[in-house]
Amino acid sequence: MIRVLGIHASPRKYGNSFKLLWIALRAAENEGAETEIIHLYDYNIGPCFACYSDYYLNCRYPKERKECPLSGVDGFGEVAEKILASDAVVFSTPVYWFMASGVLKNLFDRMTSLENMIYHVGRSLLDGKVAGVIAVGEEAGAAMALSWALLTLVNMGFHIPAWGTTYYHGKGDVLEDKQAVSDAYNLGLNIVRATKRLRGSNEAPWYRFIGEDEYESLVEEARKVAEKNKAEQRRERPWLK
């Protein structure tokens, strides 16, 4: 069973970056994977202290050994365990100032402790996993966020499948944009297919369009989940108008 983790890097659990991530993971399920979405804002991810800049062996994934000064102090360990237990990860970020959110940047900075294990145990703990990336925002910057994420992930040891990125920079509800939904769906499919093939199986083509019926039921379901999240989250954010 292939496990795909969705990491949502927006504070709004009902926005467009959530919706596209949900569509992508649903496609992954349709392709046979087991999926989970986590919201990064539910974890407290502190900034990296760059210990390796003093000495490169300072940085290691702490789990039990606690070398990292932040080990056990914030929520990174929980997220890291989920990543390590996954075969593939789909990151979905809002675009703030032409780039991924600060929370996703902090997560990537902290993931250095997983990659840096190449110096301790001979391989990156992320080596051979598969990744996809989604970026959403009305303003420009999706490409900058996606390209930065791709370069980083490839250099941590992730594979990126064809059509492994999706974005939306239109106004309004992304679920009304057929191209974006279709792209997210294909991203989810390709993540799973690449994971399977990189492990030896050999299956279908790399891109397919989803039919009207499938599209409409998916979109409807995504909308309901987002609305439920919004209703719940509004109670936690009373300052919002």
User: Least Å distance between CB 14 and a copy of itself?
Assistant: 10
Tokens of 11: 């504070």
Q: Are 109 and 68 in contact (CB under 8 A)?
A: no
User: Least Å distance between CB 227 and a copy of itself?
Assistant: 14
Pairing of strands 34-39, 3-8: parallel
> Given candidates 35, 86, 93, 124, which one binds a copy of itself under the rule CB under 8 A?
124
> Given candidates 32, 36, 42, 53, which one binds a copy of itself under the rule CB under 8 A?
53
Residue 211 lies near a copy of itself (rule: CB under 8 A): no
> Given candidates 97, 119, 178, 231, which one binds a copy of itself under the rule CB under 8 A?
97
Residue 231 lies near a copy of itself (rule: CB under 8 A): no
Q: Which stretch binds a copy of itself (CB under 8 A): 21-29, 79-87, 127-135, 212-220?
A: 127-135
User: Least Å distance between CB 31 and a copy of itself?
Assistant: 16
What does the per-residue mask of binding to a copy of itself show for 172-201, with x meaning CB under 8 A?
----------------------x--xxxxx
> Given candidates 6, 77, 161, 188, which one binds a copy of itself under the rule CB under 8 A?
161
32/69 with CB nearer a copy of itself = 69
In angstroms and rounded to an integer, the radius of gyration of the C-alpha atoms of the chain is: 18
Distance CA 164, CA 146 (A): 10
Residue 108 lies near a copy of itself (rule: CB under 8 A): yes
Within residues 57-96, the interface with a copy of itself by CB under 8 A covers 57-58, 67-69, 94, 96
Tokens of 54: 């003093």
- Nearest to residue 71, comparing CAs of 80, 79, 81, 62? 62
Tokens of 152: 């980083």
- Indicate the angle between helix axes 102-115 and 76-84, nearest 10 degrees: 60
Distance CA 30, CA 24 (A): 10
Q: Are 161 and 131 in contact (CB under 8 A)?
A: no
